[in-house]
Amino acid sequence: MIVLGLETSCDETGIAIYDTRHGLIAHRLYSQIAVHAEYGGVVPELASRDHVRKTLPLIHEALAEAGITVSDLDGIAYTSGPGLVGALLVGACFGRSLAWALGKPAIGVHHMEGHLLAPMLEDNPPPFPFVALLVSGGHTQLVQVDGIGRYTLLGESLDDAAGEAFDKAAKMMGLPYPGGPALSKLAATGDDKRFAFPRPMTDRPGLDFSFSGLKTFTRTKILALAVDGVLAGTDKADIAAGFQAAVVDTLSLKCKRAMQQTGIKRLIIAGGVGANVRLREQLRVTAEAMGGAVYYPRPEFCTDNGAMIAYAGAQRLAAGQCSDLAVAVVPRWPLVDLPAVAHSVDAEAVDG
């Protein structure tokens, strides 16, 4: 089965083609960073307009890369939530309309399920069950995954997501957009032990997260050290390092607890913050110390992308699931509401 995947949930236009026998055969990604940089964050209306402008040309590029035409497609998958409603509607309209014109099935894919399954695109995918840390600008969740669509929410952020906290802290320090990667780069030059940043909600049982207090601590520290509103270079680097260490330590501790609670020794990291080098290394050490292993997608598949949507859609289409003709999106959509898939097509994939 050859599936076209479209991802337009926020500020990246991702197009990919996944073949259940040969794996990923085409992948295109356009980032809107330059569009939103002057505003310091994503402007929903501009995001939607840019998706309209880029989706069709990227589909043509992906088809050319794969060496196929639209008539060779067996199905269409598009992100139908969660995300920005206008941006989601662009991909849903393109995907649903193309599928109808071709007489092929289409399916709306849950954005976070795409992220959760992104490690399956790698050469050494994790077997079920596993614990997943979904960590991005909009979500921070720990999920027990017993199979596709068989998800148990173990814990989540009660306020800001980790990626959102990174971006807000970066903005406080006057770092360029996108703030998370800029803060991580600066943190590599700082002393993460100079300031005693809190590790929120680690002194109590449970697997939920909270990063709003950490954000407030960062703001207070900046105000105390700034002279005429300006931080010295060393102070800025040390704050960035302390902030990053606090987030990474908190995520690592909660992942350890989740593995202990479930008895599952396989951990995956997915979502934009999953590209953070320090987080990857610390979770690797944590998992291996417990006799387990950590899995994650390559950095280009940590951020939003069409490959993860094409893969997730292919699993559900191959299992006989599909969406009706309505163009419907769900800006808020609990992951645990998804129906289960009886089997994965991976057994027939890639190596045949």
- Which residues fall in the annotated binding site? 111, 115, 134-138, 167, 180, 276, 304
Annotated binding site for Fe cation: 111, 115, 304
Annotated binding site for substrate: 134-138, 167, 180, 276
Residue pair 269/280 in contact by the 8 Å Cβ criterion:
yes
* CA 61 centroid distance within chain: 24
Phi, psi of 134 (to 5 degrees): -95, 110
**What residues contact 205, with CB distance under 8 A and at least 6 apart?**
none
The residue type at 340: A
C-alpha distances (whole Å) from 30 to each of 67, 179, 229 are 20, 19, 36
Q: According to DSSP H, which parts of 203-329 are helical?
A: 212-225, 233-262, 277-289, 306-318
Q: What is the C-alpha to C-alpha distance for residues 22 and 92, in angstroms, rounded to an integer?
A: 26
How many CB atoms lie under 10 A from the CB of residue 272? 25
- The reply to whether omega before 129 is within 30° of 0 (cis) is yes
The residue type at 188: A
- The reply to whether omega before 200 is within 30° of 0 (cis) is no
- The reply to whether omega before 82 is within 30° of 0 (cis) is yes
The owner of tokens 């068989």 is 150
